[in-house]
Structure 1
Amino acid sequence: MASQDALTGWDDLANAEAYEAFTRTFPMYDITSRDLARRARLETAELVVDLCGGAGATARALLDLLPARARVVSVDAAAAMQEVGRRTLTDPRLRWITAPAEQLGDHLAPGSVDAVVCNSALWKTDTPAVCDAAARVLRPHGRFVFNIGGGFAGVRHPDEETSARPSLNALIRHVAETDHGPLPPPPGPKEPKLPLETITRQLNAAGLHVIDAEVTAQHSTMAEKKAWLSIPLFARPEGDFTHEQRMRILNDAYARTTPDARTVTSWLVITAERQKAAT
């Protein structure tokens, strides 16, 4: 099972509302969701799982792209995220299940799902258990498609070299130290949690075969990055600061940037396929 730490903040209504507003205002989640849907080959799909679906940003894209008869099941452990999603996304083809990703197989029949899509959240799960659960519910040749942030996967797209410098995070740290004194040193480099070799091994153990792995770049702007860091869950700097202090620091740091300056993040996007029926 995933640790309770994985839910810290996600089951808070203020975070959920701010997060959902971000997904509707900025294109990142729609772009990445549509990319995952394309890789899942959903033209003839009847049932698709939006895993760790939050407030429904990926489910919106899936419903837009799926055949009219198809259904989507959005699975997430954070009830607050789904509460916000239920208010804003009322398509009758969508079913909400409040449960950890690792328990997917407890809620859907074996071999009943055409594709499982997970946007931006696999890193916070017990990935071997999630791979097993996805394999169990997928039909033969059904696809499990997901992305992993570059830091967690240990990958870096060449476009990251064109990101604005200094980063907004670096400016936030500079402002915080100027106004409040030295911060603890940032943590040193860590071993990637989910490099391709590790996740491939976990997928294979579950009976899933990687058919494609690609490092992609997500392009955005300083304005979008500021909006992301305005969500309480993601506000910086860490440490003993109130949210109001963090927002003042963020606004000061942002004032030193160009709003439309380009920022780039890297992703490892993996498409895996169920080779035979689950046992």
Structure 2
Amino acid sequence: MEYDALTGWDDVTTAEAYAAFTRAYPMYSASSRDLAARAALPRSRVVVDLCGGTGTTAEAILALAPADATVISLDSSAAMQRIGRHLLTDARLTWVNAPAEHLADHVPAHSVDAVVCNSAIWKTDVAAVVTAVRRILRPGGRFVFNIGGAFAGVAHPDSLVPPAGPSVTSLIQQIAARDYGITPTPPAVPPKLPLPAITYLLADAGLAVTTAEVTGQRTTFAERAAWLSIPVFACPEGPLSYEQKMGILAEATAHARPDDVTVTSWLVIVAELPQAAL
């Protein structure tokens, strides 16, 4: 089976691997807690976890939301949500299986205090999603999300410090080139969602950016390697089977120190709907 990082999420193997990763490693839970802390949740009554997957971000939201709050986790992958329903049984949580762009078809207009989206907005039609978020937010409501550094064209200062050893990506590239003649794909230029572009889309929908911060997240080699074992993230891109990619990853892991740390960059944005918007 071909796995694609944009469209390949509605697959049992991917969903199970992703859920196992989020329970074993802190990458998604830590970024979820960071976003939830920025969303003013203790005074929120209705919160949307957008592109919620198996519920890692919903779990962070539920930890801060009031006892009488309603949390809606919306995702287009039924496979991811089936796992999430077993992992999270909080009565405050409702699951909606739909694309992010169709958010406003499932949530009443001007009814939501906060929308939180972790590690996913660049996989959507961003303009359509922003418009949908604007429609469902109450005046004063917040839209809190992050964009991967490569997609936003930003780098945290700590990410520029050379790692102690070779990165998992560089090792994978070396092995793929040696054994299969596959050369690395150059990064997309320009970045897909730089801050000026996302600020323009938000402003066009009537949302104002209140915070835009570049953060750095520490990631061990072991965690990065485990992340790359999730089928939709397996490298390198190209004609290799998943099994061949896992063979490359296993060899790369054998040549590295699992505790070596790299820093991943994120652009974290908080936007609000002005109180006088309606």
* Whole-angstrom CA distance in 1 between matches of 2:155 and 2:183: 26
Comparing 231-240 and 111-120, the one that deviates more = 231-240
Report the equivalent of 2:37: 38
* Whole-angstrom CA distance in 2 between matches of 1:55 and 1:189: 29
Correspondence 1:237-252 to 2 at 5 A: 237-252=236-251
- Cα deviation code 1:148-207 (max 9, x no counterpart): 000110000011023524221110111122223x21452254111111100000001111
Comparing 206-215 and 78-87, the one that deviates more = 78-87
Report the equivalent of 2:229: 230
- The SS at the match of 2:58 is helix
Asked if 1:193 corresponds to 2:192, the answer is yes
- The SS at the match of 2:169 is helix
Give the superposition deviation at 1:277.
6.4
TM-score scaled to structure 2, two decimals? 0.94
* Whole-angstrom CA distance in 2 between matches of 1:217 and 1:188: 20
Correspondence 1:97-112 to 2 at 5 A: 97-112=96-111
Asked if 1:160 corresponds to 2:159, the answer is yes
Correspondence 1:104-123 to 2 at 5 A: 104-123=103-122
Report the equivalent of 2:170: 170
Alpha carbons of structure 1 residues 175 and 192: separation in structure 2 relative to 1, 3 Å: same
Alpha carbons of structure 1 residues 194 and 55: separation in structure 2 relative to 1, 3 Å: same
* Whole-angstrom CA distance in 2 between matches of 1:54 and 1:163: 33
* Whole-angstrom CA distance in 2 between matches of 1:276 and 1:66: 21
Asked if 1:220 corresponds to 2:219, the answer is yes
Comparing 195-204 and 61-70, the one that deviates more = 61-70
- Cα deviation code 1:18-43 (max 9, x no counterpart): 00111111111111111111111111
* Whole-angstrom CA distance in 2 between matches of 1:143 and 1:161: 31
Q: Could you tell me whether the CA contact under 8 Å between 2:45 and 2:68 is conserved in 1?
A: yes
Count residues with an aligned counterpart: 274
Give the superposition deviation at 1:107.
0.8
Q: RMSD of the alignment, in Å?
A: 1.5
TM-score scaled to structure 1, two decimals? 0.94
Q: Could you tell me whether the CA contact under 8 Å between 2:5 and 2:232 is conserved in 1?
A: no
Q: Could you tell me whether the CA contact under 8 Å between 1:113 and 1:139 is conserved in 2?
A: yes
* Whole-angstrom CA distance in 1 between matches of 2:138 and 2:187: 43
Report the equivalent of 1:183: 182
Give the superposition deviation at 1:95.
0.3
Correspondence 1:119-130 to 2 at 5 A: 119-130=118-129
Q: Percent identity?
A: 59
- The SS at the match of 2:42 is coil
Alpha carbons of structure 1 residues 117 and 42: separation in structure 2 relative to 1, 3 Å: same
- Cα deviation code 1:55-82 (max 9, x no counterpart): 1110011111211111210011111111
* Whole-angstrom CA distance in 2 between matches of 1:221 and 1:140: 41
Segments of 5+ residues of structure 1 without an aligned counterpart are: none
